[in-house]
Amino acid sequence: MNSHVSTGTLLVKEPLNFWGGARVKPKDTKNSEPVYEPATGRVLCDMIPCGEEEVDEAIKSAHSAYLKWSKLSGMERARFMLEAARIIRERRDEIARAEVANNGKSITEAQVDIDVAWQCIEYYAGIAPTLSGQHIQLPGGSFAYTRREPLGVCVGIGAWNYPFQIAAWKSAPAMACGNAMVFKPSPMTPVTAVMLAEIYKEAGVPDGLFNVVQGGAETGGLLCHHPMVAKVSFTGSVPTGKKIMEMAAKGVKQVTLELGGKSPLIIFKDCELENAIKGALMANFLTQGEVCCNGTRVFVQREIMPQFLEEVVKRTKAIPVGDPMCEATRMGALISKPHMEKVLGFIKQAKEQGAKVLCGGEQFVPNDPKLKDGYFVSPCVLDNCRDDMTCVKEEIFGPVMSVLPFDTEEEVLQRANNTTFGLASGVFTRDIARAHRVAENLQAGTCYINNYNVGPVEVPFGGYKMSGFGRENGQVTIEYYSQLKTVVVEMGDVESIF
Ligand SMILES: NC(=O)c1ccc[n+]([C@@H]2O[C@H](COP(=O)([O-])OP(=O)(O)OC[C@H]3O[C@@H](n4cnc5c(N)ncnc54)[C@H](O)[C@@H]3O)[C@@H](O)[C@H]2O)c1
Ligand SMILES: C[N+](C)(C)CCCC=O
């Protein structure tokens, strides 16, 4: 793949599976599915799902790499990981362009995603040498110690909104702890995970340490049920997350679930309004609104509602939508035609239920003829929303902001928490005590104070309630990719009661 890919030019012909240290041709092409370039509607490549035999080969390849990798010291693992991070930095533009062609997000955002990916690998490379156990003194000179050990072969299953970044978020902590991984990207975005696999190989990790199998639900099921798999880390929707948990339960495998959300963003009248407006845009329109932690329920204190709406609508209308490979574009195309239709359906239903469209919410056809069949939707702000409307209750996963007025802190907290989701939340206020009180009382895995959707790799990310459990990023994720062994050492004689 070259770094000069522009919209409408990329065709992917190479095999997209990777195990044993090389790309692997699919055994059977009969269930092949076309993969589209969202900006043009053109076929980019075929996704050919892996069957039982291929999944088994990939897992066995991972297991043999695990036996070698888990015996390395943290410093040794870190060296390979730092080299992988360096190669990603070097190939940033090429990977970002492939991501844009496959996902439809703007090149500006894709470049940030690739940066976050290498930062994540670099971060966990830094942690790998620090992994250690504890020494516990016992009576009579005896003692115990703990060893932090890897789990074995871990499976990563990804969503389509951050394809490369999700693969890095899962593989980096897994590898730092001494595990191997078999990763399955979404069938809609099969292109870039295999680039990560090639980069790890180039960095010198053992063949089989990071593998990619392509496929959808069936392949995902084969991975979850495989007896040699110790853990499944899943990113995707709540309904699929429930199935993953059921499958993992059969083999008593550990699970991390990074699921969906319908997060509240609360804007108090004492906020710095300019920042709150920028925050609301960042909370809703990154990656065409296809972001799990988006703050799509924007609660605005009644007194500042007119100014907020005027400015937010003005700036939403000014968002440049179009060719995602252009530097000036700030919003690209949605992932697929059915998804675009689903998002437009949510907007239609919102209007039927009484919401007022202040801007956008329509299919958008850019002037450039090559984009005429792309899946573009103009970013939408909905007013007159009520808590019982579908657009306020369900995850739309598109560029749709629902704005809701509120009067008091107590009231808004109750309404913000009135959801089965709990991924993220946000609050804008100048009152420091209020900010921390609200953060404490919001039922969500993350609360942003006076910002939204910033995601440094050093801080843990994950859900409360039905948005899942386990964490990605931050030091705590080590807990989710390792297990603790206790070794008890007797220095005297055995005292037996028998
Ligand atoms: N919390 C997070 O970190 C996070 C991040 C990104 C996306 N998401 C969520 O992901 C969703 C959008 O992604 P999606 O549409 O790809 O989700 P999805 O649940 O449809 O699919 C996710 C992955 O699961 C696989 N899969 C589907 N059925 C399966 C089964 N029965 N067994 C095993 N694997 C199966 C898919 O092939 C895909 O790889 C949204 O709800 C979004 O909020 C969450
Ligand atoms: C926008 N963040 C903070 C990068 C999170 C992306 C992960 C969820 O879809």
pLDDT in tens, 28-38: 998 999 999 99
pLDDT of residue 3: 57
Q: 16, 235, 480: which to mutate for ligand 1, most atoms within 8 A of CB?
A: 235
CA of 225 to the centre of ligand 1 (A): 17
CA of 397 to the centre of ligand 1 (A): 12
CB atoms near residue 490 (< 10 Å): 13
Q: Is the pTM of this model over 0.95?
A: yes
Atom of ligand 2 minimally distant from the CA of 113: 4
* Amino acid in the structure at residue 238: V
The C-alpha atoms of residue 211 and residue 147 are separated, in whole angstroms, by 27
Examine the residue annotation and report whether 258 is marked as an active-site residue of this protein.
yes
Residue 250 confidence (pLDDT): 98
CA of 236 to the centre of ligand 1 (A): 2
End-to-end CA distance of the chain, in Å? 71
| Ligand 1 center from residue 80 Cα (angstroms) | 30
Q: How confident is the model at residue 2 (pLDDT cuts 50, 70, 90)?
A: low
Q: Ligand 2, residue 162: give the atom nearest the CA.
A: 9
Q: Which residues of 12-41 are buried (b: 16+ CB within 10 A; e: fewer)?
A: beeebbbbbbebbebeeeeeeeebbbbbbb
25: its two tokens? 């041709």
What is the per-residue pLDDT across 450-479, written as a single tens digit (0 to 9) for each?
Answer: 999 999 999 999 999 999 999 999 999 999
Percentage of the chain beyond pLDDT 90 is 99
pLDDT tens by residue, 167-214: 999 999 999 999 999 999 999 999 999 999 999 999 999 999 999 999
Distance CA 193, CA 166 (A): 9
Q: Is the CB of 161 under 6 A from ligand 2?
A: yes
Q: Atom 8 (ligand 2): residue with closest C-alpha?
A: 292
**Site to substitute for ligand 1 among 237, 288, 469, most atoms within 8 A of C-beta:** 237
Catalytic residue among 258, 290, 395, 472: 258
CA angle 96, 98, 103 (to 5 degrees): 90
Tell me if 292 CB under 6 Å of ligand 2. yes
Mean pLDDT of all residues in the chain?
98
Atom of ligand 2 nearest to the CA of 291: 9
- DSSP annotation of 87: H
Query: Which of 55, 186, 212 is the best mutation target for the ligand 1 pocket, counting ligand atoms within 8 Å of the beta carbon and taking the most?
Result: 186
Contact 405, 266 (CB under 8 A): no
Ligand 1, atom 31, residue with closest C-alpha: 217
397 lines ligand 2 (CB under 6 A): no
pLDDT at 248: 98
Q: Which position has the token pair 């703007």?
A: 106
Which residue minimizes the CA distance to atom 6 of ligand 2? Answer: 291
Q: Which numbered ligand comes closest to the C-alpha of 215?
A: 1
**Phi-psi map region of 55: left, alpha, beta (phi>0 left; psi -120 to 50 alpha):** alpha
Give the residues surrounding ligand 1 with Cβ less than 6 Å away: 157-162, 184, 186-187, 216-217, 220-221, 224, 235-237, 240, 243-244, 258-261, 292, 395, 397, 423, 463
| Ligand 1 atom closest to residue 187's alpha carbon, by position in its atom list | 37
> Residues 20-57: pLDDT tens digits?
999 999 999 989 999 999 999 999 999 999 999 999 99
**Scanning the structure block, which residue is given the tokens 């292109």?**
191
- Complex ipTM, two decimals? 0.97
Ligand number with the minimum distance to the CA of 186: 1
Of ligand 2's listed atoms, the one at least distance from the Cα of 116 is: 4
Residue keyed to tokens 């609660």: 299
Mean predicted confidence (pLDDT) in 278-305: 98
CA of 399 to the centre of ligand 2 (A): 15
Q: What pLDDT, on the 0 to 100 scale, is given for residue 4? A: 76
**Best mutation site among 112, 115, 189, 293 for ligand 2 pocket (most ligand atoms within 8 Å of CB):** 293
Distance 290 CA to ligand 1 centre (A): 12
Question: From the CB of 455, is ligand 2 less than 6 Å away?
Answer: yes
Whether the predicted pLDDT of 236 surpasses 60: yes
- Among the atoms of ligand 2, which is closest to the Cα of residue 287? 1
Ligand nearest to the CA of 472: 1
Ligand 2 atom closest to Cα of residue 258: 8
Give the pLDDT confidence of 61-74 residue by residue, as tens digits: 999 999 999 999 99
